[in-house]
Amino acid sequence: MSVVLLLGISWLVSGCGGEGQTESLKEAVYGSPEAQISMEKPTTSELYSGAALSIAPEVNPVPNAKVHEVRLDVTHSEIQVTEGVKFVAWTFGGTLPGPVLHVRQGDRVRFTMTNRSDQTVSFSPPTPHSIDFHAAMVNPADKYREVIPGATIKFEWVANYPGVFMYHCGSPAILQHMIYGMIGMTIVEPKNGYPTKVDREFALVQSELYLTKMKSGMYLVDMEAAKQKKATYVTFNGIPKQYVDKPLQAKPGERVRIYILNAGPNGTSSFHVVGTLFDKAWFDGNPQNEQRGLQTVILGSSNGAIVEFVIPEAGTYTFVDHEFADVELGAVGQIVAKSEAIASK
Amino acid sequence: MRKFSSIFILMILPCLVWGNTSLNAPPKQVRSFSPGTKGTVLIFVSSLCPCTDAHRIMVENLMTRMPASGFKFYAVFSNKGETTELIEYFYRTIGWQMPYILDSSGTLQKKYKATHTPQAFVISPQNKVLYRGPIDDSNLNQGRVDNPYLKNALEDLLAGRAVKASEVAGTGCWIVRSISSKELK
């Protein structure tokens, strides 16, 4: 009886991540050189660079390197949300959401960011910005400090934990910077890869937009609506219903992995794919946080997950935030599964 | 009872009407500022800069207390691209009641060398700059005010003292005019 009890306790401890956690922490790297801020100008007009970056829903494989040079510049630019709806967004790398950063556990990220908001003064006042990587363990007062327009920050961090993490601007008012579009996803692959093989991968960032239409026809970011959590749109990868108009593609029988991040900033996401079940769901994208046979994963603001499922047969598989008010605001897309070959990108 | 209700409604009606009119009325635009007996507070702001939001309560509190003491408050919009519609939207969201100056030509911005939004200036009745800098440092401390710069300056002046910190480096958005980067650092 007592042996069974001991075994049970031992299983519980290891099952709760005791052993794995210790192993992770043993290899964790804490501390990194002080961030450097200068008035150094970027030598390229590219707003982002680095083999570890891709634009969602695409996910580039992790480059075969232990150190990743990554540049994500901040820019103010006009983004078309839907027909007739444009607004001046603030973005990392010129895209909404910012590019997906994909590295492996234990890798070092050498990060550079220039605040280029001084280059778009004709339509948007230059504004201080910063970046907060949830995947990093660093001193926020140093690495996440504000960068004035025209300045460049450089710092390093090591990806200690596997997962699907958020990055965002941390300048006050943070809510305002986030609803302007300063959000993105970091994927940290486990050191020895995932325990499963998949045929297809997609990255989806769910986020809300809060806009108000002026008499002139232009749209402005609506801070009051954001404070009251009254979203104008809820999107996957920045545009409402874009994957209904241009569905993602897969083939029957394929195993699909979706990296899903709820960037919020205010709402939760009840992510669900109609017509299949999540064979595996790893909360916050860490395989140690495994759940099986789920219909829905619920993600608070900034939570991520990896969900894997099989496309059971040819058909159209609609993915939604199952909080259906959000579907009406745009949080819906489709995966079309056909047997014929899928056109390459 | 009905009579009592009617009297009560008649009594509170002016308050309701005044309240709604006051809250919904468009902000008052003026061409220039008229100095207060103790001085004038100019706050350079931008309808598209989010940095002012962190200071809304501080300014509201000062506006409640200070006019009676002889200070007048004005908002100044010097950025290119400011329109009446944008300014009215800004006022609706920020909830301030002070009159504003649309400084399209940048005259006030150049005169006082305003560089950021929000940036406050306290001007004496003799047109001397007594304080130049941020409203407070709440934007640097997640909303906690460690240094209420503008409030301190006004209290120094009300106490008949020279302003202790009369110039503090600007933070926030840039005013988009021909400002050299040297001035902004």
Residue A241 backbone dihedrals phi, psi, to 5 degrees: 60, 20
Lowest mean pLDDT among A2-11, A21-30, A158-167, A177-186: A2-11
Q: Are A270 and A321 in contact (CB under 8 A)?
A: yes
pTM metric for this prediction? 0.85
Identify from A146, A148, A171, A177 which residue to disrupt to test chain B contact, counting B C-beta atoms within 10 A and taking the largest count: A148
State the ipTM, two decimals.
0.71
Q: In which element (H, E) is residue A243 found?
A: helix A242-245
- As a whole number, the mean pLDDT across chain A is 92
Cβ of B57 under 8 Å from any chain A Cβ?
A: no
pLDDT level of residue A295 (50, 70, 90 thresholds): very high
Q: Does residue A228 surpass a pLDDT of 70?
A: yes
Contact at CB, A172 and B89, closer than 8 angstroms? no
Cβ of B49 under 8 Å from any chain A Cβ?
A: yes
Is A331 in a helix, a strand, or coil? coil
Instruction: Show residues of chain A in contact with B53, CB under 8 Å.
Output: 173, 176, 223
Maximal CA-CA distance, chain B: 72
Indicate the pairing of strand B39-45 with strand A304-310: unpaired
Contact at CB, B176 and A173, closer than 8 angstroms? no
Contact at CB, B85 and A214, closer than 8 angstroms? yes
pLDDT, tens digit, for every residue of A257-266? 999 999 999 9
Contact at CB, A121 and B89, closer than 8 angstroms? no
**All domains of chain A in start order, with CATH:** 38-189 (2.60.40.420), 200-337 (2.60.40.420)
- Higher pLDDT: A340 or A103? It is A103
User: What DSSP state is assigned to residue B51?
Assistant: G
Q: Does residue B13 surpass a pLDDT of 80?
A: no
From residue A321, give the alpha-carbon distance in Å to each of A153, A256, A326. Answer: 36, 18, 6
Residue A119 backbone dihedrals phi, psi, to 5 degrees: -95, 0
What was the pLDDT predicted at A107?
Answer: 97
Instruction: Show residues of chain A in contact with B119, CB under 8 Å.
Output: none
What was the pLDDT predicted at A283?
Answer: 98
What was the pLDDT predicted at A117?
Answer: 94
Instruction: Show residues of chain A in contact with B118, CB under 8 Å.
Output: none
Lowest mean pLDDT among A35-39, A64-68, A118-122: A118-122
Contact at CB, B175 and A125, closer than 8 angstroms? yes
| Mean pLDDT computed over A77-93 | 95
- Higher pLDDT: B18 or A204? It is A204
What would the DSSP string read from start to end of A118-165?
GG-TTTS----B--EETT--S-HHHHT--B-TT-EEEEEEE--S-EEE
Q: Point out which residues pair with A114 in neighbouring strands.
A: A152
- When the candidates are 3.40.50.2300, 3.40.50.300, 3.40.30.10, 3.30.160.100, the CATH number that belongs to B26-184 is 3.40.30.10
Question: Of A126, A216, A224, which has the smallest distance from its Cβ to B174's Cβ?
Answer: A126
Nearest to B66 by CA among B169, B153, B163: B153
Percent of chain A with pLDDT over 70: 92
Contact at CB, B50 and A177, closer than 8 angstroms? yes
d(CA B29, CA B32): 9
Q: Are B152 and B165 in contact (CB under 8 A)?
A: yes
Nearest to B48 by CA among A276, A27, A254, A176: A176
Query: Which residues of A lie inside 8 Å of B (Cβ-Cβ)?
Result: 39, 88, 118, 121-128, 148-150, 172-173, 176-177, 180, 212, 214-216, 220, 223-224
Question: Of B49, B89, B92, which has the smallest distance from its Cβ to A127's Cβ?
Answer: B49
Instruction: Show residues of chain A in contact with B51, CB under 8 Å.
Output: 127-128, 172
What was the pLDDT predicted at B177?
Answer: 65
Closest-CA distance, B9 to chain A, in angstroms, reads 31
Lowest mean pLDDT among A15-24, A290-299, A306-315, B127-136: A15-24
Instruction: Show residues of chain A in contact with B184, CB under 8 Å.
Output: 148-149
| Mean pLDDT computed over B115-139 | 95
Cβ of B175 under 8 Å from any chain A Cβ?
A: yes
Contact at CB, B46 and A212, closer than 8 angstroms? no
Q: Are A259 and A285 in contact (CB under 8 A)?
A: yes
Query: What residues 136-165 of chain B have any CB closer than 8 A to a CB of chain A?
Result: 139-140, 142-143
Contact at CB, A172 and B172, closer than 8 angstroms? no
Q: Does residue A104 surpass a pLDDT of 50?
A: yes
Q: Does residue A282 surpass a pLDDT of 50?
A: yes
Q: Does residue A15 surpass a pLDDT of 50?
A: no
| Mean pLDDT computed over B108-123 | 96
pLDDT level of residue B48 (50, 70, 90 thresholds): confident
Contact at CB, B80 and A122, closer than 8 angstroms? yes
What would the DSSP string read from start to end of A291-303?
EEEESEEEE-TT-
Q: Does residue A17 surpass a pLDDT of 50?
A: no
From residue A269, give the alpha-carbon distance in Å to each of A120, A232, A283, B12. Answer: 34, 16, 13, 46
Q: Does residue B46 surpass a pLDDT of 60?
A: yes
What was the pLDDT predicted at B26?
Answer: 82
Nearest to B157 by CA among B184, B122, B105: B122
| Mean pLDDT computed over A94-102 | 98
What was the pLDDT predicted at B8?
Answer: 46
| Mean pLDDT computed over B128-152 | 92
Residue of A nearest to B92 (CA): A224
Q: Within 10 Å of residue A195's Cβ, how many Cβ atoms?
A: 10
From residue A332, give the alpha-carbon distance in Å to each of A100, A139, A244, A285, A295. Answer: 20, 37, 7, 21, 16
Contact at CB, A148 and B93, closer than 8 angstroms? no
d(CA A206, CA A228): 19
Q: Does residue A281 surpass a pLDDT of 90?
A: yes
Identify from A41, A118, A121 which residue to disrupt to test chain B contact, counting B C-beta atoms within 10 A and taking the largest count: A121
Q: Does residue A310 surpass a pLDDT of 80?
A: yes
pLDDT, tens digit, for every residue of B66-91? 878 899 999 999 998 899 999 999 99
What was the pLDDT predicted at A291?
Answer: 98
What was the pLDDT predicted at B2?
Answer: 53
Q: Does residue B7 surpass a pLDDT of 80?
A: no
Closest-CA distance, A140 to chain B, in angstroms, reads 13
Instruction: Show residues of chain A in contact with B117, CB under 8 Å.
Output: 125
Instruction: Show residues of chain A in contact with B92, CB under 8 Å.
Output: 224
The domain locations on chain B are: 26-184
Contact at CB, A223 and B171, closer than 8 angstroms? no
| Mean pLDDT computed over B121-148 | 92
What was the pLDDT predicted at B24?
Answer: 59
Residue A101 backbone dihedrals phi, psi, to 5 degrees: -100, 125
CB pairs under 8 A between A and B: 66
Q: Are B38 and B125 in contact (CB under 8 A)?
A: yes
Q: Are A98 and A182 in contact (CB under 8 A)?
A: yes
Percent of chain A with pLDDT over 90: 84
Instruction: Show residues of chain A in contact with B88, CB under 8 Å.
Output: none
What was the pLDDT predicted at B10?
Answer: 45
Sequence-ordered strand ranges (E) for A34-136: 36-38, 48-49, 53-54, 67-72, 74-82, 85-92, 100-104, 108-114, 132-133
| Mean pLDDT computed over A95-101 | 98
| Mean pLDDT computed over A277-292 | 98
Q: Does residue B22 surpass a pLDDT of 90?
A: no
Instruction: Show residues of chain A in contact with B54, CB under 8 Å.
Output: 172-173
Instruction: Please give the single-letter amino acid code of residue B4.
Output: F
| Mean pLDDT computed over B6-22 | 43
